[in-house]
Structure 1
Amino acid sequence: MANPVLLNNVDHKDLRVVTRRGAAWGDNLMLALTFPAEFRTLQAHYPIVFRKTRDGAFEPVALFGFQEGENLFLDEGAWDATDLPLSVERLPFLIGVSGDELMVHVDLDNPRVGSSEGEPVFLPHGGNTEFLERMNSTLLALHQGLQDVAGFTQALLQNELLESFVFDIELNDGSQNRLAGFYTINEERLAMLDGAVLERLNRAGYLAAIYFAMASLSNFRALIERKNRRA
């Protein structure tokens, strides 16, 4: 269970955060939330697909594996990709909103959090370290990026551009795997959209994100290769 509290330099003056990557630090993630402005960088590494939330909305995610708890990018204590989703990079910090004010919180139950190892969050006299300033920038970029998700996915739904898919995988050892419950861009439907609709999508900044998401699906082949090496 998460235990988020408002970050402050009195109660958390000795707080340190481990920045290494590995399952011990909570990186054994199958996927991570992303947003349209991030697709440009993430599509070089990860398949970007969509999932339905409990309230029936849709959200884009970057895939790291084919089953819960599997991150095929973790390799001997390192993350084998140059770009991480900001929703992963910001951990163990998160943003809380009070009215119009954004406030940084920290999950004290996150395995990265401690007082003896890792990057210090505050300076001895109470000021922010460079590490915390970098996390503040990451959190702000993530918060701003996530504001676009609802409009983006609504535009996809309005134009019937999301379709469910099932991905069956046979590994080199003969084992069968299936990825289901996700959605991707319907390329045939996209090709049928008229110029006016495409212009609206482009003006909203969504068209490039759509093509980046489509291009990212080529990473499924590399993800299968990673799975075969693990097997």
Structure 2
Amino acid sequence: MDLELLNAERHLGLHQADASLERTHFVQIVASEFVTAAATCPIFLTKNSETGRFYAGAMFGFEPGENLLERAGAGRRGFLPLDVERQGYFLAPGGVAIDPGHPRFSAGRGAALFGADGQPAPALRRIQLVLGQLSAGVPETDAFIQSLVALKLVEPIDVDLSFDDGRSLSLAGLYTVSLDALGELDDAAALDLFRQGRLQLIYAMAGSLRQVPRLANLKNERLAA
């Protein structure tokens, strides 16, 4: 992938299509997205296959290529992960870079990246904001997860599903926060989580598990159709 640093002279006529969640079943998210995500879909921790480190992700479907919220219009519009919104864009030394081969870019269709005066258009200003949020959010979220691990609050979770067509599905490699272990923390540790704003993140994760049955119902509706 060859990246190009964005500049008005070279990319004045470049346009972008909307970012798409189509066929996306699991997306990495950062802590600032937890509360919004939890109202729409379950949030799990899982491990990076290369590093073995935990990261947080929002689940939109149970299998690769499956987004059960695609046709649940209000749900999909309610939460578009930053990591999806920045498709094709990257932070680079000197500014914002793009993958010119990414399918969302074209010369004339979609939202312009620059105005006629060469200044960033609203679409590009939004991307700059998104990249800034991700740049700050990834290390913040890593620190949150590391604190959960240090306090022994992370536990594996079995997600076993049965569907109306008789098929069953078991999801492996997923983790959540143990509210039982949270309740056993000493007062100092619990107060520290509260003061750092991490209790809200924990309860958002725990509450998001109520979205698993919702996704299962959407899958049954799709099977019936």
Q: What TM-score, normalized to structure 2?
A: 0.91
- Whether the 8 Å contact between 2:5 and 2:96 is mirrored in structure 1 is yes
CA distance in structure 1 between the partners assigned to 2:127 and 2:145 by the alignment: 27
CA–CA distance in structure 2, aligned partners of residues 15 and 211 of structure 1: 42
Tell me the equivalent position of 1:80. 76
Aligned length: 222
- 1:138 deviates by 1.8
Query: Which amino acid is 2:32 matched to?
Result: A
Aligned with residue 111 of structure 2, among 119, 123, 127: 119
Q: 1:77 to 1:154 in 2, by over 3 A?
A: closer
Superimposed CA distance per residue, residues 143-170 of structure 1 (whole angstroms, 9 cap, x where no aligned partner):
2122202211110100111111221111
The residue matched to 2:8 in structure 1 has which SS?
coil
- Alignment check: 8 A CA contact 1:163 1:183 kept: yes
2:21 matches 1:29: no
1:63 matched to 2:59? The reply is yes
Work out the CA distance in 2 between the residues paired with 1:215 and 1:76.
20
Paired position in structure 2 for 1:10? 9
Unaligned runs of 5+ in 2: none
**Structure 1 runs (4+) greater than 3 angstroms displaced:** 76-79
Secondary structure of 1:42's match?
A: helix
2:25–2:63 Cα contact (<8 Å) kept: yes
Q: What 5-or-longer segments of structure 1 have no aligned partner?
A: none
Q: In structure 2, give the amino acid aligned to 1:4.
A: L
Is 1:183 the counterpart of 2:178? The answer is no
Report the AA paired with residue 145 of structure 1.
G
For the 8 Å contact 2:29–2:82, the answer to whether it is kept is yes
Structure having the larger proportion of residues in strand? 1
Q: Structure 2 matches for 1:144-183, cutoff 5 A?
A: 144-183=136-175
Question: Is the 2:40–2:75 contact (alpha carbons within 8 Å) kept by the matching residues of 1?
Answer: no
Alpha-carbon distance in 2 for matches of 1:95, 1:219: 33
| Counterpart position of 1:19 | 18
Q: Matches of 1:130 and 1:18 in 2, distance apart?
A: 13
Identity between Structure 1 and Structure 2 (%): 32
* Deviation sequence 1:171-219 (CA, Å, 0-9, x none): 1111111211111112221111111111111122211101111001100
Q: Determine if contact 1:21/1:74 at 8 Å carries over to the other structure.
A: no
In structure 2, distance between residues paired with 1:75 and 1:34: 21
- The equivalent residue for 1:44 is 39
Q: Distance in 1 between matches of 2:106 and 2:99?
A: 11
Alpha-carbon RMSD? 2.0
Please name the residue that 1:89 is paired with: 85
TM-score normalised per structure 1: 0.89
